[in-house]
Amino acid sequence: MANISDIIEQFILKSLGDDDSVDISRNELASFFSCAPSQINYVLETRFTVDRGFVKESRRGGGGYIKISKINIEDDNYMNNLILESVGDELSYKRLCQILDKLLAESIITRREVEIIKSALSEKSLAMPFTIKDQIRARAFKNILSTLLLIKEED
């Protein structure tokens, strides 16, 4: 049986359908699913992220409306948003793998490139104190994404 987060995610995805965006109210969804608004926030923050191909725009007042839009993966802004928003100053290996899986699924990079990046930024390759490992991984991955963006622009 699916948990409430999965159910809320599927509901939002069905609401999006073939449209590019959907406006939702946090409070209305929470009421509909008989859950706390923080549960809706959790789903929005973990399931509708830039690396998963979505951008969120908050609208103040009136029940906390949020506009969820699908990102055009072919658009260069996707890679820029990924670099600026999704990677951040620190990046765990697990998060790196999630981002790479999305890039692979969207045919932005190949399986070979995924495996090379995973190997280069793995825990084994970054054998250093834990306190800086995720920072180094984030910087290196941002450079890789920037390079991929530049190569794409040249093609």
Q: pLDDT tens for residues 141-150?
A: 988 887 877 7
In this predicted structure, what is the pLDDT of residue 95? Answer: 85
Q: What is the pLDDT of residue 66?
A: 86
**Taking 90 as the threshold, does the pLDDT of residue 121 lie above it?**
yes
Same domain, yes or no, for 56 and 91?
no
The one-letter amino acid code at 110 reads: T
Domain boundary among 22, 47, 70: 70
Parent domain of 122:
76-154
SS3 (DSSP) at 104: helix
In this structure, are 86 and 144 located in the same domain?
yes
Query: How far does the chain reach from its first CA to its final CA, in angstroms?
Result: 46
Is the domain of 83 the same as that of 144?
Answer: yes
| pLDDT confidence bin for 12, thresholds 50/70/90 | very high
Give the Cα separation of 154 and 127 in Å (integer): 35
> Does 84 lie in the same domain as 64?
no
Q: What is the DSSP string of 78-128?
A: HHHHIIIIII-S---HHHHHHHHHHHHHTTSS-HHHHHHHHHHTSTTTT-S
Q: Which residues pair with 59 in a beta bridge?
A: 65
Structural domain count, the chain: 2
pLDDT tens sequence across 30-67 = 999 999 888 998 998 888 887 677 878 876 665 568 88
Query: pTM here?
Result: 0.57
Provide the 8-state DSSP code for 50. Answer: G
Checking if the pLDDT of 151 tops 90, the result is no
Q: Are residues 116 and 81 in the same domain?
A: yes
Determine the Cα angle at 82 with ends 79 and 87, to 5°. 140
Co-location of 85 and 144 in the same domain? yes
